Structure formats: C-alpha cells, structure tokens
Amino acid sequence: MGICHGKPIEQQSKNTLQVSSEIDEATPTNSQPVKSSGFPFYSPSPLPSLFKSSPAISSSTSVSSTPLRIFKRPFPPPSPAKHIRAFLARRNGSNKRNEVSIPEGKECEIGLDKSFGFSKQFGSHYEIDGEVGRGHFGYTCSAKGKKGSLKGQEVAVKVIPKSKMTTAIAIEDVSREVKILRALTGHPNLVQFYDAFEDDESVYIVMELCKGGELLDKILQRGGKYSEDDAKKVMVQILSVVAYCHLQGVVHRDLKPENFLFTTKDETSPLKAIDFGLSDYVKPDERLNDIVGSAYYVAPEVLHRTYGTEADMWSIGVIAYILLCGSRPFWARTESGIFRAVLKAEPNFEEAPWPSLSPDAVDFVKRLLNKDYRKRLTAAQALCHPWLVGSHELKIPTDMIIYKLVKVYIMSTALRKSALAALAKTLTVPQLAYLREQFTLLGPSKNGYISMQNYKTAILKSATDATKDSRVLDFVHMISCIQYKKLDFEEFCASALSVYQLEALETWEQHARRAYELFEKDGNRPIMIEELASELGLGPSVPVHVVLQDWIRHSDGKLSFLGFVRLLHGVSSRTLQKA
C-alpha cells in the first residue's frame, strides 16, 4: 500500500540521490500554481511550455480568423503516465477536485463490505507509542505488547484507515497483503508478521519493529554508494527473499531501497523486505496487467501492461545500479520523462565508477536491466552469477523458470529437442553449476534420473498457503501429470536452458555456432519445407514457402544456421513476423 515502515517523520523530506538527467525534459512554465492530483505517479504536464502565444489574442493585431499555430517542437510521444494516474485513481478511489466519479460495478463505495474477519481486540493486546512513518494510504506506529507471547516487546503496527478503502480493489489489496505476510513470514529477510486486527475505523497489521533504518538511508550515509563487497552482501539478502517469494507465486511489485529495512543499527544487521501492500499472486503461465509500483523502479513490461515476476528482477537491477554507482539508471524531471527513459533509454555504463568496477559486477547489473524480460536473470540464477559466487553460503532455491521451460520442451518437436540438446553441450561450467543445483533439488534417483512427479515433490517441500493461493500448485500438478520419459542430467539441461537468456550473453554467437556444428553431426537431416511446416505445427493459412525459405539450405535441403537458431527459439507469431 505504499507505506514506509520505520521511517521517522522528520526524515520524510530528506534529499534524494543527486543524479544528472539522461533525457532532456521540458519544464512547466505556467504562471498558474500546479495542483497535485495526490497520486504517486503525478507530475505536471510539460506541454504548456511547448506553445508560442497565439497571434489571435494579441492586443495589437486584429485578424478575422485564427492563424496557424507554430510549435517550438513536435508533440512528444504519448506518455503512459496519464493512463497510470487514471488507473491509480480507479484503484484507490481518488478523484480530482470538483470531479464526480462514476460508479463502475463493485467499485462503488456504497455497500462495500469492509469487514475482514480479523480480531477486534487490538487495544487489549497492544499499546501504541507513536507514529514512525506515513505513506499514501496509512501510517506506521511503534507499539508495545501488553500480554501474551509479545508482552513488553516493541512491535511495528501498520494502520490503514477504512475511510481510505473506497473501492473493492483497495479492500482486496489489504486482505491480500495480510494473507501474503501470514503465508510467507519466517524467511530471515522478510519482516516478521505477528497478527492482524481491525475495528470500525482501521485495520492494524502487527509486525516486527526494524530500528536500523532504510537501505536508502544507509546508501546516503555512505556517500551515495556501496563498495562492491558491501553491495554483494545487500544483493544476496534481497535476492534470497525475492527468490522465496517468486517460488511461492508472489510478486512484490514495489521493490526499492525504501522498502528494505535493517533490523538494528549494527553494521552486520540483516536486511528485511517490507510493504507487501502492492504485492500480488501470479501463476507461472499467466501475466498481470495492472500498473503499480514506483516510477524509478518500474519495469518496461509493467508499462506495457503484461508482466510477471521478471518485473521484480528489473527493480533489483535498478537497486544494484544505485548501490554500485550512486545514481539512478533512468532519470528525468517528470514521471512522464522517467517512463519514456525506462522504455527507450539505455543505462550508462561508460562513466565513473563503472570502468573501475569488476566486469562481473557490470555484467550482473546489465543482465538484470535487460528490457526484454525473457533475457533477464531470475533471482535464483542471480544468486549463482559469478559476481556473487563465493560471497554467500545460501542454499540456492528451486527456480520456477525450469518448470516453465520443461513444459515447453516436452511439447516441442523431436527436431527442436535435438537442437536444444546440441546447445546444452556448449554450456560453460558456471552455467552448468546452476543447472546441477536445480537438478539436485528435484531429487534424482540413484541412477541419476528424474520423473515429472519429481517436479511436484520438490515444490511441496517448500509450499505455503501462498503457493496454493497463487495456483502455483495447480501449474506444478499439471506438469507432474504429463506423460514423458525420465530425464537424465544431460536431457534435463536441454529442457531447462533458456535460449533467450543465452542470447543476451556476449558469447551467444559462439554458443550458437558451436551448437550448430554439433547439430550438423548428430541431428541435422534433409527436410522438405512442407514437412518442416507440419513439424512446427503451422496451419494452412501460413505462407510456408515465404516464411521458411531461409530455414533450409538450398544445397542439400538441410536446416540452415538461421533456421537452426529460429528453431531453438520455437515458433510463435513474433517469430513468423520477423521471418
């Protein structure tokens, strides 16, 4: 819900990171005061400064018709900011002054059920001491337990007034936040949830009190950035809790330095993720489409309204960029400009301190800030990245991406499986180390094989109520029911590698060329265009001779290198459009 836990009120207006603009944005020049809409993404429009005064209103000129208006520069491209503000208005029930909202179905406040079924005995269990932070939809207080297991213990209480819950969506957000916290609590890098209460006025979420301050505060105290070694310690903790959330089917959707707190002021204090007010469940084979988050950390696909857990990894990439260099990768004077930068601009890795940082550190950040979400590292993969290997002793968690990839692999043709097998043989030792970790987590037999049932068993070991609510268990059950032979480690690698992630590497060309050489020896064969079209499942409406003519060598009728690479990616509407 955008609330900042444990942040003293007097620090609310502190300076943010000082950075230089990457996009030249026009600033408003209106003499009229700008009214804030009250939305998190609100920014004044830059358009008024783009127009010259019309001669039609000049006191010294009289014309019978309005002359052609001249613009200083063309209109900027449409900004997603307008749509984001409109969405947030509908979600949170906010309206501009003098505007009347039009009730849309269950979004009308009249008749909303604001009863959550929580205990109504908050006052008898806790005594509130004072406010320590305030957000868009509520505030956070410190409190002390009056009885029970928390008697005498200081806690944090997030107070959400029911008067702020003016839509059914807002009510659902609060209910889901409590469910997610209750299900996920217990991870060492996630704020401990104790209980939830309510009365006629508010909802009270009781959690552990973190006194060490925000990660953002710590960055500022260190002069704006961390050393590589210290940044590694922070990233490992962030990735650990995010990998845990993603495995349970929970996407945070508002990861930023302000939403990570240190439990104490000690230098070795653990870091805790907070504020799951914007979090949601996401099934591995589905996408979310509502636009939420914070402008500087929002992923491109969120602005395109189709995203999953990969959006969190982009946000972690932004945090890593800030930790290592002290500036934001995407910046502009307005939210509209920030969104355009996120969609179009590339992060700067040329200026100091990037040239002095290790190549592994630069590669780590680049692989998180890839605008193509399919090429981005997952949290489990990031923990296995060479930059972090050796800096932690965490047990790498099961990665849901291997479930999605194996499903696609099993449904692939024999020709594509042969191509993937060739590509798997080109993987390096570090790349194989991650896959070996995942294979081991699936619990192979003594003979070194896994069945589809192993995929379900592995998830059940770490399942929570969130795994059920997110329908991750349904997805895993579907995979476990697929009739397919047992996999050894070699075929598992072919099934679990991501072609898109490999394509993001600088060494992709070598991988692809070497794999094609292996494919030529073991898997390539003469094939007719019609046979290839049939194997790829292309319908009669597809002009196969046009689409697939470059896939086959004219000399011997075998798959060409271009056809091999496209086969690795699989056939989709996007593939056909590019062909």
Residue 429 has pLDDT above 80, yes or no: yes
| 539-546 average pLDDT score | 82
Q: Could you give the domains of the chain?
A: 215-383 (1.10.510.10), 398-512 (1.10.238), 524-579 (no CATH)
* Between 236 and 133, residue with greater pLDDT: 236
Residue 448 has pLDDT above 80, yes or no: yes
Residue 402 has pLDDT above 80, yes or no: yes
Confidence class of residue 269 from pLDDT cuts 50, 70 and 90?
Answer: very high
pLDDT value for 93:
57
In this prediction the pTM is 0.81
pLDDT value for 370:
98
Instruction: Decide if 527 contacts 434 (C-beta within 8 A).
Output: no
DSSP structural state of residue 209? P
Confidence class of residue 48 from pLDDT cuts 50, 70 and 90?
Answer: very low
Lowest mean pLDDT among 77-86, 447-456, 459-468, 488-497: 77-86
Residue 127 has pLDDT above 60, yes or no: yes
pLDDT value for 102:
32
Residue 524 has pLDDT above 90, yes or no: no
Q: How far is CA 347 from CA 84, 108, 329, in A?
A: 23, 43, 5
* Spatial distance between the Cα atoms of 242 and 247, rounded to a whole number of angstroms: 9
pLDDT value for 436:
97
Instruction: Decide if 116 contacts 178 (C-beta within 8 A).
Output: yes
Confidence class of residue 256 from pLDDT cuts 50, 70 and 90?
Answer: very high
pLDDT value for 90:
57
For residue 385, which of 362, 355, 403 has the smallest C-alpha distance?
362
Instruction: Indicate if the alpha-carbon torsion angle 33, 34, 36, 37 is positive or negative.
Output: positive
pLDDT value for 10:
37
pLDDT value for 142:
96
Percent of the chain with pLDDT over 90: 68
* Between 108 and 425, residue with greater pLDDT: 425
pLDDT value for 133:
87
pLDDT value for 550:
86
Residue 573 has pLDDT above 50, yes or no: no
* Spatial distance between the Cα atoms of 31 and 200, rounded to a whole number of angstroms: 44
| Catalytic (active site) residue 290 | no
Percent of the chain with pLDDT over 70: 79
pLDDT value for 45:
36
Confidence class of residue 271 from pLDDT cuts 50, 70 and 90?
Answer: very high
Q: Give the position of tokens 């070795």.
A: 268
Of 254, 275, 280, 399, catalytic: 254
Q: What is the mean pLDDT of the chain?
A: 83
**Edge-to-edge, what's the strand order for the sheet holding 154-161?**
126-134, 139-145, 154-161, 202-208, 193-198
Confidence class of residue 44 from pLDDT cuts 50, 70 and 90?
Answer: very low
* Between 488 and 41, residue with greater pLDDT: 488
Q: What is the pLDDT of residues 49-97, one digit of tens each?
A: 333 333 333 344 333 333 333 333 333 444 555 555 565 565 555 544 4
Residue 272: strand pairing partners: 261
- Helix (H) or strand (E) segment spanning residue 262: strand 260-262
| 110-137 average pLDDT score | 90
179 assigned ligand-binding residue? no
* Between 36 and 546, residue with greater pLDDT: 546
Residue 21 has pLDDT above 90, yes or no: no
* Between 1 and 520, residue with greater pLDDT: 520
pLDDT value for 43:
34
Lowest mean pLDDT among 174-178, 306-310, 539-543: 539-543
| 291-307 average pLDDT score | 96
pLDDT value for 548:
85
Q: What is the pLDDT of residues 356-396, one digit of tens each?
A: 999 999 999 999 999 999 999 999 999 999 999 998 999 99
Q: What is the pLDDT of residues 337-350, one digit of tens each?
A: 999 999 999 999 99
Residue 125 has pLDDT above 80, yes or no: yes
Q: Is the link from the previous residue into 270 a cis peptide, with omega within 30 of 0?
A: no
* Spatial distance between the Cα atoms of 160 and 433, rounded to a whole number of angstroms: 46
> What are residue 393's phi and psi, to 5 degrees?
-120, 25
b/e burial code for range 394-430 (CB count within 10 A of at least 16 → b): eebbbbbbbbbbbbebbebbebbbbbbbbbbbbbeee
Confidence class of residue 400 from pLDDT cuts 50, 70 and 90?
Answer: very high
* Between 23 and 515, residue with greater pLDDT: 515
